[in-house]
């Protein structure tokens, strides 16, 4: 059992004890939620002190123990109550403290700009990079103003329905409205100078594609004449190859022009992936038209061989095609080298990662064209030397296999790009180290960096912020003497609540400013990073 040590004179006794002496509080203050305190008073004078209780325990008499037990039962138990604020119930939907912009207030609540002039204006930190702050309004004020203007919620709903129908009609006449909008912006001088769509075809990938379209179109015409004159299966394959290249590069030109469109509400991240889509369709077209027809014509030549006429004109056309395709190939190689050097990548890495899908298609198509011309010329030469038409049919099959290999590579690389692959580990490591080296960041988790195509990266991470550093950053901008005076003036719970709410909101704004600063640093030090999402743990 329990043992209590009792000193009596110079002797010490160890006695068994089945009751613990309890010393209760002599005075307790109870705080309510309105800041008032209550003194519950002192205990009665008949209560035993701890020394007297021990002395009673040392007697060992049952009567004394029974009296002690009765004394404990009669004493009131005092409980210390923790002072807490009453929990506020917000309900499933609470929008009284929400802020909305002027544009939303006009569009969603059918107000005019003059109606907003009478409402309270609040300056808040802007989410956009080009502005530091912008003006917002309390949603409750806007709702009250809309009811004042329209009279009832039913009238406001009817006005919203009418504007929705007008918006549908506006979209039906989209082209006419776009022209009117462009004239409106030009009248007010609110537009930035932009290059025309045709200008993008005079430099970079657009220039490469246009040169390839012109050359492949001429090659198709002359190869078709040579096939009609000679009846060569290899020449037919070459003509089909040039036709497929011309159609595919026209599709690439369409993808380049569409990728330059500005983002809209339906496509907030823009249309840059149109180049990958066009390149993917181009790869499928090469496989179906180029490889498929070449294989078909080669097999027909093996099953039903026929003698070939003079191949002199075919050799001349193939020689011209070799020169023209080689020139286009050099243009594509120079463009890829320049772009790879600008990105700090090797020629092979730039091609495999499909950084520029349009130029990649031209490069691979022209490389395949040069090799196929060599294959066709070799097989036609063997046929003319031996008189055996099977060599020519084998050449057609070889050209088809070459085109099939190129199309498979294009389909694979563009599919990978459209699926949203991760960036290189070295680049991801640089972004991670930049965040972790900042004093406001304790740790980062669930890091994801996706290549959106055309050297555009979207970065996302869960960030554990150091609250002490954020708070210190806020305090460094405050007058500490004035802050100390505010603390000393706090006497009641209501004053404490008001003080904490005021500075708590400011600290949250400071945390938001730190998030904006980190996002800006990531974009400045890594130009490929266009979209940053930092989520607070």
Number of H helices, E strands in the chain: 19, 10
Inter-axis angle of helices 292-303 and 390-419, nearest 10: 160
Among the listed residues 340, 409, 365, the one whose alpha carbon sits nearest the alpha carbon of residue 212: 365
CA–CA dist 353, 349 (Å, integer): 6
Q: Is the pLDDT of residue 24 over 50?
A: no
CA–CA dist 404, 294 (Å, integer): 10
SS (H, E, C) 294-361: HHHHHHHHHHCCCCCCCCHHHHHHHHHHHHHHHHHHHHHHHHHHHHHHHHCCCHHHHHHCCCCHHHHH
**Which CATH number is 92-188 given?**
3.90.530
As a whole number of Å, the end-to-end CA separation of the chain is: 51
- Cross-strand bridge partners of residue 457: 451, 529
> Residue ranges of the domains in the chain?
92-188, 197-419, 425-536
Of the listed ranges 307-316, 483-492, 511-520, the least confidently predicted one is: 307-316
- Report the pLDDT value the prediction gives residue 65, as an integer from 0 to 100: 52
- Report the pLDDT value the prediction gives residue 14, as an integer from 0 to 100: 41
Q: Is the pLDDT of residue 352 over 90?
A: no
In this structure, which CATH number among 3.40.50.720, 1.10.760.10, 3.40.50.1000, 3.30.70.1350 belongs to the domain 425-536? 3.30.70.1350
The percentage of residues in the chain with a pLDDT greater than 70, rounded to a whole number, is 76
Among the listed residues 263, 257, 272, the one whose alpha carbon sits nearest the alpha carbon of residue 200: 257
CA–CA dist 231, 227 (Å, integer): 5
Structural fold of domain 197-419? Alpha-lytic protease prodomain-like (1.20.1510)
User: Can you give the pTM of this predicted structure?
Assistant: 0.59
* Same fold? 92-188, 197-419: no
What is the phi/psi pair of residue 191, to 5°? -115, 150
- Report the pLDDT value the prediction gives residue 440, as an integer from 0 to 100: 92
- Report the pLDDT value the prediction gives residue 74, as an integer from 0 to 100: 55
């Amino acid at each position: 059992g329990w043992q209590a040590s009792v000193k009596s004179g110079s002797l010490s006794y160890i006695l068994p004890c089945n009751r613990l002496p309890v010393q209760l509080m002599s005075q307790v203050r109870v705080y309510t939620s309105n800041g008032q305190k209550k003194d519950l008073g002192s205990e009665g004078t008949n209560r035993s002190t701890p020394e007297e209780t021990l002395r009673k325990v040392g007697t060992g008499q049952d009567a004394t123990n029974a009296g002690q037990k009765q004394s404990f039962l009669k004493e009131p138990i005092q409980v210390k109550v923790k002072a807490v604020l009453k929990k506020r119930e917000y309900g499933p939907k609470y929008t009284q403290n929400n802020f909305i912009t002027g544009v939303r207030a006009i569009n969603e609540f059918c107000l005019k700009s003059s109606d907003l002039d009478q409402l309270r204006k609040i300056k808040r930190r802007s989410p956009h990079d080009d502005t530091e702050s912008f003006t917002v309004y309390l949603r409750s004020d806007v709702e009250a103003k809309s009811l004042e203007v329209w009279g009832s919620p039913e009238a406001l709903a009817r006005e919203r329905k009418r504007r929705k129908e007008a918006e549908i009609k506006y979209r039906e006449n989209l082209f006419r409205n776009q022209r009117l909008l462009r004239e409106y912006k030009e009248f007010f001088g609110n537009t930035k100078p932009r290059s025309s769509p045709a200008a993008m075809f005079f430099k970079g990938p657009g220039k490469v594609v246009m040169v390839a379209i012109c050359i492949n179109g001429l090659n198709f015409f002359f190869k078709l004449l040579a096939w009609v004159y000679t009846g060569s299966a290899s020449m037919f394959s070459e003509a089909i190859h040039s036709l497929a290249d011309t159609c595919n590069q026209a599709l690439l030109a369409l993808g380049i022009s569409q990728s330059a469109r500005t983002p809209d509400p339906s496509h907030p991240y823009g249309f840059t992936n149109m180049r990958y889509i066009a390149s993917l369709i181009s790869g499928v077209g090469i496989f179906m038209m180029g490889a498929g027809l070449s294989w078909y014509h080669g097999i027909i030549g093996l099953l039903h061989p026929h003698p070939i006429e003079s191949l002199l004109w075919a050799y001349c056309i193939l020689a011209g095609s070799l020169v023209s395709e080689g020139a286009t190939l050099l243009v594509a190689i120079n463009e890829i080298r320049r772009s790879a050097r600008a990105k700090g990548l090797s020629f092979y890495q730039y091609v495999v990662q499909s950084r520029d899908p349009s130029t990649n298609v031209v490069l691979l198509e022209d490389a395949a064209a040069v090799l196929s011309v060599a294959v066709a010329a070799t097989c036609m030469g063997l046929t003319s030397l031996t008189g055996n038409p099977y060599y020519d049919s084998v050449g057609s099959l070889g050209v088809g296999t070459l085109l099939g290999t190129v199309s498979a590579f294009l389909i694979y690389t563009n599919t990978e790009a459209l699926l949203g692959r991760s960036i290189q580990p070295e680049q991801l490591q640089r972004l991670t180290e930049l965040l972790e080296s900042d004093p406001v960041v304790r740790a980062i988790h669930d890091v994801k960096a996706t290549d959106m195509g055309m050297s555009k990266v979207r970065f996302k991470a869960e960030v554990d912020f150091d609250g002490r550093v954020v708070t210190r950053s806020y305090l460094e901008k405050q007058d500490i003497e004035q802050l100390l005076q505010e603390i000393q003036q706090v006497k009641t719970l209501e004053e404490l609540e008001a003080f904490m709410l005021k500075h708590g909101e400011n600290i949250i704004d400071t945390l938001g400013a730190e998030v904006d600063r980190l996002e800006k640093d990531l974009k400045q030090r890594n130009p490929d990073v266009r979209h940053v999402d930092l989520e607070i743990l």
